[in-house]
Amino acid sequence: MHRTSWTLLLVLLLCLSALGSSGSGQGGEGPPSFLVVVTDDQRFDQMGVAGHSVLKTPTMDGLAARGVRFTESFVTTPICAASRASLMTGRREGRHGYTFGKQPMGKVLADESYSARLRAAGYRTGFVGKWGVRFDDGLRADMFDWCEPMSLPYRKEGKAHLTDRIADRARGFLREVDSEKPFCLTVSFWAPHAEDGHEDQYLPAENLTELYADAVVPVPPLATEGFDVLPEFLQRSLGRRRWTWRFDDREKQIKRTRDYWRLISGVDRALGGILDELEELGHSERTIVVFTSDNGYFLGERGLAGKWLIYEESIRVPLIIVDPRADSARRGVTSAAMALNVDIAPTLLDLAGLVAPSGYDGASLAPWLRGEVPAWREDFLVEHRFDHAEIPKSYGVRGQRWVYALYDEQKPVFEQLFDLEKDPNQLVDRARDPAFHGTLASLRERCDILRGR
C-alpha cells in the first residue's frame, strides 16, 4: 500500500478510536451513571473536611478526597421547596415559580428537568426520600422510572430510622439496575432538618444518641452581637421564634446542636452504605457522585434558627463532585468557583454528553472538574418569595465582595449592604452610610438586571 494511503488509514483509525471513547465511562463502555445526594439544612461548614472541629464525616470527607469540593457553593433561594425545584429544573425561583403555597410546576419544567432529559436519553432514573416539590398530576412518571418519596417522622415503631430507610431503598434501586444501562439515582435525605412538631426537634437514630456526648459545643458565634444589629423586622421573624424552640438556653443549645451533628453523622453512615453497594455491584468506576444540600442553616448564629435570609450561614452549602474517570491530578482538590444549585442540572447533562435546555439559568461545572478556568459569574441573584407573615420576602445580590439585600415589601422598603472583604461576618450595614451610596446604587441596579426588570 502506498505510504500516503497508510497515513490516511492510520488517521481514520485514530479518529474512530476517539469517537468510540468520547463521553465514555469505565473502559470506554458508554456514558456515566449518576448518584445525586441531597441533604436538608446542612451548612457548608458542617463536615469534617470543611474544618469542623467535632463532626466526624468520613464518607463525605472520602468523597472530597476523590473529587472536587467547591468551597464557594450557594443556593439561589434558601428554602427547601424552591431550592429543590431549582436543583431539578436548572432555574432560579423567579423562573420556575415554585415555592410553598404556589401552584405545581408544569410540563415544560418537568420535561426539562435533569431526570427527564436523562431518562429520554436512555437512562434509568430513580428518586427516593424527601420530595419537597410539586408537579402537575402525572408528570412525575415522565421524570422517573422509579420514585419513592418518604416523609417524617424520623422514628417509627418497629422500623429503622428514616435516614437508614431511605438508604436501604436506594441500595434496592441499585441492585435492580441493568448493568448495560446507565442510571441516575437521586437520594434526598431529610436529615439534618428538624422535626418541627416534636419537642426534641432533632431526632437521630437510637444507636447514635451517645455520639458526641462529650463533645464541646461552643456558644454560637455572633449570637448576641449579630442579633443586636439585625433590623427590627428580622428580630421579630420566624427565625427568632424557632430559635426559642432550639437554642434559647445553654443546656438546650448544647443538646440540640449535638443531635443536629448526630443526624449528619447518620447521613454519612448511610451514604457510606450506598457507596459500598455501588462498589459491590461493580458500578463505582462509572458512577459520578454529586453531594450537596438544599440550603444552609442558622444554628443559633445571629440569635436565629432556620434559613431564608441572605447571610452566609443561610445560602452557602457543601458541594462535592466525584468523577471516577478523572485524571488523578483532579482528585482531592478544591475550587473557589462560584457554584450554584442551578448548576447541578446542566452539569449532569453535560457529563452525560447531552445539551442543556436554553431555559436553564445555571451553567455546567464540568470545565472546573477538568481543571479549566472558563469565563464565569462574579455574582448571582438571591430571592425568597414565600408568602409567610413571619418570613420577610427579599431579593439580593451576592457578589465576590459585596452583598446587597432588598426587603421590598417592608414599609418603608429596607436595604442592606455588606462588604465581605472588610466585614466577612456581615455585621456592619453600609446601606445608610453616604460614603457607600454609589456602591448601593450600583448593586440596586445590578439586582434589577438579574431579576430581569
| Residue 326: inside a domain | yes
Say yes or no: 345 and 416 in one domain.
Answer: no
Q: CA–CA separation, 70 vs 336, rounded Å?
A: 6
Q: Say yes or no: 363 and 427 in one domain.
A: no
Give domain status of residue 429, yes or no: yes
136 & 202 share domain: yes
pLDDT at 124: 98
Last residue of a domain, one of 338, 373, 408: 373
Contacts of 59 (CB under 8 A, 6+ apart): 268, 269, 271, 272, 275
Are 398 and 315 contacting, i.e. CB atoms less than 8 angstroms apart? yes
- Are 201 and 194 a contacting pair, CB within 8 Å? yes
Q: Looking at the structure, do residues 270 and 189 belong to the same domain, yes or no?
A: yes
Q: Is 132 helix (H, G, I), strand (E, B) or coil?
A: coil
Cα-Cα-Cα-Cα dihedral of 91, 94, 97, 98, to 10°? Answer: 80
Give the dihedral of Cα atoms 149, 87, 321, 220; nearest 10 deg. -90
Residue 298 lies in a domain: yes
Does the residue 151 lie in any domain?
Answer: yes
Q: Say yes or no: 367 and 406 in one domain.
A: no
Q: With a cut of 50, list the residues of the chain below it in pLDDT.
A: 1-28
Q: Do residues 400 and 366 share a domain?
A: no
> Do 366 and 413 sit in the same domain of this protein?
no
Q: How far is CA 337 from the centre of its chain?
A: 15
Using a 10 angstrom Cβ sphere, with 0-12 exposed, 13-18 middle and 19 or more buried, the burial of residue 146 is: middle
Query: Domain check: are 325 and 291 in the same one?
Result: yes
Phi, psi of 104 (to 5 degrees): -60, 155
The residue segments making up the domain with residue 399 are 393-453
The answer to whether 395 touches 436, Cβ cutoff 8 Å, is: no
Sign of CA dihedral 46, 52, 55, 58: positive
Is residue 24 in some structural domain?
no
Does any domain span residue 343?
yes
Cell for 411?
414599609
Q: What is the pLDDT of residue 30?
A: 86
Structurally, how many domains does the chain consist of?
2
CA-to-CA distance for 257 and 218, rounded, in angstroms?
9
Residue 162 lies in a domain: yes
- Please check whether residues 436 and 292 belong to one and the same domain: no
Residue 214 lies in a domain: yes
For residue 436, the domain's CATH number is 3.30.1120
DSSP per-residue letters across 321-365: EE-TTS-GGGSSEEE-S-EEGGGHHHHHHHHTT-PPPTT-S----
- If asked whether residues 87 and 230 sit together in one domain, one would say yes
User: CATH number for the domain including 316?
Assistant: 3.40.720.10
In terms of residues, how long is the chain? 453
Same domain for 140 and 289, yes or no, is: yes
Burial class (CB in 10 A: 0-12, 13-18, 19+), 447: buried
Shared domain for 366 and 398, answered yes or no, is no
